[in-house]
Amino acid sequence: MQQTYPHLFSPLKLGTIELPNRIIMAPLTRARSGEDHIPTDLMAEHYAQRASGGLIIAEATMAMEGCSAFWKEPGIYSEAQIAGWKKVTDAVHAKGGRIVLQIWHGGRACHPALNNGKQPVAPSAIAIKDEVHTPQGKQPYTVPHALTLAEIPGIIEGFKQAAINAKAAGFDGVEVHGANGYLLDQFLRESSNQRTDTYGGSIENRARLLLEVLTAVCEVWGSDRVGLRISPVNSFNSMKDGDPLALSRWLSEKLNDYNLAYLHVMRSDFFGEQKEDVLSVCEEFYQGNLIANMGYSAEEAEAAIANGDVEAVAFGVSYLANPDLPERFKAGAALNDPDPDTFYTEGPQGYTDYPFMEK
């Protein structure tokens, strides 16, 4: 039965990026790049299949060498990687789509076995309490090296170069990854940041690196093609903050100064452990375009946009399994079920072989 979602299917302008609808593809790590971290033709096919959404946010991508946290995730620090991504952006644009690149550093989620023996870096020397997949099987996360004040400018420069490279690869913009317990989020939240210098302690200090990275990236793209993703209550990667509501309010108010294309908020916890309503805080205090994410149906997304709570909604797992997700929403068609066993495997199975609707 055909459905009408007039708000979800209305056009939207995110900064200077014009979207035909408000259905966003959330960034989804799929580990299809191989050990050299070069995007493949298979990835180009995967993203082009999903080009009918308002915007694709491509998966977490290594901003600089030596920060691999998934073994076979893509990078954007070499000429070969830029060329690989250019095939992806060309394929998406040929289908009429828009795509931005999520630039990222894994921080303490990286592992020496994935980075030629290199010790991971983080705000403080505190390891994640979990295991990571490596070529040698599952291994415990290692204790990271606490970044010195002299090393931090190199991180900022790495993100800036990644933004330059993303422009060369033909993206429509970039999203800075400040979520899910990776480097910038590790600085933001108290469980991983125990520093006593200008990058630790107060919210202002903990947010300093994130804001410095945003400033550098906006110098490359202009703020109207830069987004930011945050996850104030997600406990993934051993993360926790004593007052996520205060953190969300401070960030929302501060980010108003940046005139970003959007703020992308993960509203809940992967494990359901923290219940604070950070999205409502962002809705109240952030004045720009707000994208909400995690667990939305088409009906809830339509209501949230119609109520003026958010400007758009990002869909993750449902988009993973349904390359024609917008068309299925519009037709009221059933959705394909995702296959978790193929989320991080190699090849087309569970990646480019999810069926489209029958015409």
Report, as residue numbers or ranges, the catalytic residues.
Answer: 182
Tokens of 43: 């990835």
Answer for the pair 199, 152: CB distance below 8 angstroms, yes or no.
Answer: yes
3-class secondary structure, 229: strand
CA distance 31 to 17: 27
Nearest to 291 by CA among 163, 106, 102, 155: 102
CA distance 307 to 6: 12
- Residue 75 has what DSSP assignment? B
- What number of helices (H) and strands (E) belong to the chain? 11, 14
CA distance 101 to 233: 23
Nearest to 182 by CA among 63, 282, 325, 80: 63
Contacts of 166-170 with C-beta under 8 Å, sequence gap 24+, read 166/76, 166/85, 166/101, 166/103, 167/220, 167/221, 168/82, 168/86, 169/76, 169/82, 169/83, 169/85, 169/86, 169/88, 169/89, 169/101, 170/85, 170/86, 170/89, 170/90, 170/93
Cα-based distances in Å from 73 to 24, 47, 239, 339:
21, 15, 22, 19
CA distance 75 to 60: 9
Answer for the pair 40, 84: CB distance below 8 angstroms, yes or no.
Answer: yes
Nearest to 298 by CA among 321, 319, 271: 319
Name residue 231's amino acid: S
Identify the burial level of 138 via C-beta atoms within 10 angstroms of its C-beta, where 0-12 means exposed, 13-18 middle and 19 or more buried. Answer: exposed
CA distance 206 to 188: 5
